[in-house]
């Protein structure tokens, strides 16, 4: 991101939509005033442009992680999901809600589908918030106990919900519901196709929705296909080793 100060804020966001979060945080309008050079935008807001450039460069330096998830221990995988994916969901949802609210207000008459997208996403916010709390307060702590029991060769305390299969079944049902919800959003948006009359906020919102769905797919994959099956197998092993019922 060389010579960022001379670039317009709109062109910076167009090149990497993730930078929108930096502008939002600093109160810089990248939409209606997207043709403003970064240096002038910072000056008008009495903001240190050097600090903004550092934040933008930090966004650009982020690279896709390459992790062999199958090799992670169960507690490490649970920690990763919470820190990486749960945190991403919590940080991104409010911003997307703000953008969708703005789009409905500005573009709602020409694009009535925006209201439907917003309603679906708002419902998803409530459901995902509850879902993650159940994982963090009930399922993941038990998974960590199973891992510690196996590592220390100790007899784990029985859970209040019986087998780990029970909360896993509930989580998998909720995963399917959210997967279907975002499949519907993708369908309504024409696979996140940006309308010709879209402003920068419109474009960023669709890009973010697409990324949100992609992150959700990885999130669900890590749980359904790696964490959950391993937790079930580990519990079975421990039950056999200590000959007790969950």
Query: What pLDDT score was predicted for residue 1?
Result: 43
- Better pLDDT: 203 or 16: 203
Query: Can you name the CATH fold of 4-61?
Result: SP0561-like (1.10.3910)
pLDDT band at 66 (very low <50, low <70, confident <90, very high): low
**Does residue 64 have a pLDDT over 60?**
no
Is the pLDDT confidence value at 85 over 60?
A: yes
% of the chain at pLDDT higher than 70: 94
Average pLDDT over residues 202-231: 93
71-242 folds as Butyryl-CoA Dehydrogenase, subunit A; domain 3 (1.20.140)
Kindly tell me if the per-residue pLDDT of 216 is higher than 60.
yes
pLDDT at position 98, please? 96
The residues pairing with 8 across neighbouring beta strands, listed in sequence order, are: 37
pLDDT higher than threshold 90 for residue 143:
yes
Judge if 4-61 and 71-242 fold alike in CATH terms: no
User: What residue segments make up the domains of the chain, in order of their start?
Assistant: 4-61, 71-242
- Rounded to whole angstroms, the Cα distance separating 94 from 134 reads 20
User: What is the mean pLDDT of the segment spanning 227-238?
Assistant: 92
Q: What is the mean pLDDT of the chain?
A: 90
- Residue 2: its pLDDT value, please? 52
CA distance 102 to 202: 9
CB contact at 8 A, 25 and 58? no
Q: Is the pLDDT assigned to residue 144 strictly greater than 60? A: yes
Q: Residue-wise over 3-26: b if at least 16 C-beta within 10 A, else e?
A: ebeebbbbebbbeebbbbbbbbee
Q: Structure tokens of 53?
A: 């450039």
Cα separation of 140 and 134, whole Å?
A: 9
């Amino acid at each position: 991101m060389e010579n960022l100060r001379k670039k317009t804020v709109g062109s910076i966001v167009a090149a990497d939509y993730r930078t929108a979060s930096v502008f939002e945080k600093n109160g810089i309008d990248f939409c209606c005033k997207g043709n403003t050079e970064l240096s002038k935008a910072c000056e008008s807001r009495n903001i240190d442009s050097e600090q903004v450039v550092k934040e933008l460069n930090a966004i650009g330096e982020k690279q896709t992680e390459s992790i062999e998830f199958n090799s992670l221990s169960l507690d490490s995988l649970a920690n990763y999901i919470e820190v990486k994916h749960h945190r991403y969901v919590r940080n991104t949802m409010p911003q997307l809600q703000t953008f969708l609210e703005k789009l409905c207000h500005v573009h709602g008459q020409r694009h009535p589908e925006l209201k439907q997208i917003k309603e679906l996403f708002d419902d998803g916010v409530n459901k995902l918030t509850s879902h993650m709390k159940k994982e963090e307060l009930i399922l993941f702590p038990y998974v960590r106990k199973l891992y510690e029991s196996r590592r220390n060769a100790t007899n784990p305390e029985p859970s209040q919900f019986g087998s780990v299969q029970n909360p896993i079944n509930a989580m998998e049902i909720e995963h399917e519901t959210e997967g279907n919800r975002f499949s519907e959003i993708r369908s309504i948006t024409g696979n996140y196709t940006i309308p010709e009359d879209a402003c920068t906020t419109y474009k960023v919102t669709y890009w973010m929705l697409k990324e949100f769905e992609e992150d959700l797919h990885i999130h669900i994959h890590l749980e359904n296909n790696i964490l959950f099956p391993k937790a079930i197998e580990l519990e079975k092993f421990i039950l056999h080793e200590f000959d007790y019922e969950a």
